[in-house]
Structure 1
Amino acid sequence: MLAEIGLFLSIVCAGLWSGLLLTLTTILHPIYAAQDGRGFALELRAFLPTARKSPTNYALVGGLVLAPVLALIGLRSAGLPFVLTATGLALTIIGPLLVSNRLSEPLYDVILGWDPDAVPADWRLVRRRYFALNWIRAVLTWAAFLLFLAATWSYL
């Protein structure tokens, strides 16, 4: 029962986080890419403070870490489902947790520190890095989601 609950919650959290990242990378990135430096800075000034403090972010990232741990406890002798879930957990720790915390958050501080009327000369490089970090988190989350699905499929 513990394995099933943990796997279900892993799929739900990874699926919801995947949807957020899909929206960010395929809808918001093109909008931000069309902006000049001032527009990009203003867009992120409107977006980042809310996104950074969203209870949804905290709940989903917490779920992405805790739910697979719960599943792993229930799967401790399940072979392939255990390995798939452990790999999915590793990807969520690397992507949504470490990349966000160690790379994206400091970059957000840089962007939010800009004066929109006098963006730095390297603003395009910073924007490319912002896009790249979002894509890294997205791909890792999508892979984790697929691994959680595969673990569930092989367990049931």
Structure 2
Amino acid sequence: MLATYGLLAAVVATALWSGLLLTLTTILHPLYVRRDAAGFARDMHRFLPIARRSPTNYVLVVAMAVAPVVALVGLWPPPVGVPFVLTALGLVVIVAGPLLTSRFGAEPNYDVILGWDPEAPPPDWREVRARYLRLNWIRGAATWTALVLFIVAALWPPAS
């Protein structure tokens, strides 16, 4: 029962986070790529402070990290099966993708962008923008991979 609830919560939280990243990468990225330096900087100065403080971000990221742990506890009694392995892999991907990439890549890059004068971005703004876009795609790909792992684990037939 614990495994079922943990996997269900992992799928829901990861699916919701996946939707946020899908929106960011497929809708907002094309807008940001078309902007000049000042336009991109102004957009980021409006978007990043709100996105960084969003309760939705915090709740979903915590849920994506905690729910698979709950599922793993429920799946633990031997023999360890495919759902346990898939859930563990999904957790590793979540930690490596959205969590560590955000903490050590995206967040420092946000600080750089928010340190700009929006009306006079630095000469390397394209490199910083490219890093912003690339990190979002990395987090998206990791999240989508974890989602598939959690779904397959949840749908895996029970051992007989």
Per the alignment, residue 54 of structure 2 pairs with: 54
Per the alignment, residue 123 of structure 2 pairs with: 121
AA partner of residue 99 (structure 2): L
Does the 8 Å contact 2:90/2:146 carry over to 1? yes
SS at match of 1:115: coil
Q: Which runs of 4+ in 1 moved over 6 A?
A: none
SS at match of 2:156: helix
Q: How many aligned residue pairs are there?
A: 156
Output aligned runs, 1:83-98, within 5 Å: 83-98=85-100
Per the alignment, residue 34 of structure 2 pairs with: 34
Per-residue deviation, 1:95: 1.2
C-alpha RMSD of matched pairs (Å): 0.8
Q: TM-score, normalized by length of structure 1?
A: 0.98
Q: TM-score, normalized by length of structure 2?
A: 0.96
Choose from 137, 142, 145 the match for 1:143. Answer: 145
SS at match of 1:120: coil
State the alpha-carbon separation in 2 of the partners of residues 32 and 63 from structure 1: 29
Unaligned stretches of 5+ in structure 1? Answer: none
1:4 aligns with 2:4: yes
Per-residue deviation, 1:155: 4.5
1:66 aligns with 2:62: no
Cα distance, 1:66–1:81 mapped onto 2, change above 3 Å? same
Unaligned stretches of 5+ in structure 2? Answer: none
AA partner of residue 83 (structure 2): P
Per the alignment, residue 75 of structure 1 pairs with: 75
AA partner of residue 46 (structure 1): R
Could you tell me the percent identity over the aligned residues? Answer: 58
State the alpha-carbon separation in 2 of the partners of residues 58 and 45 from structure 1: 20
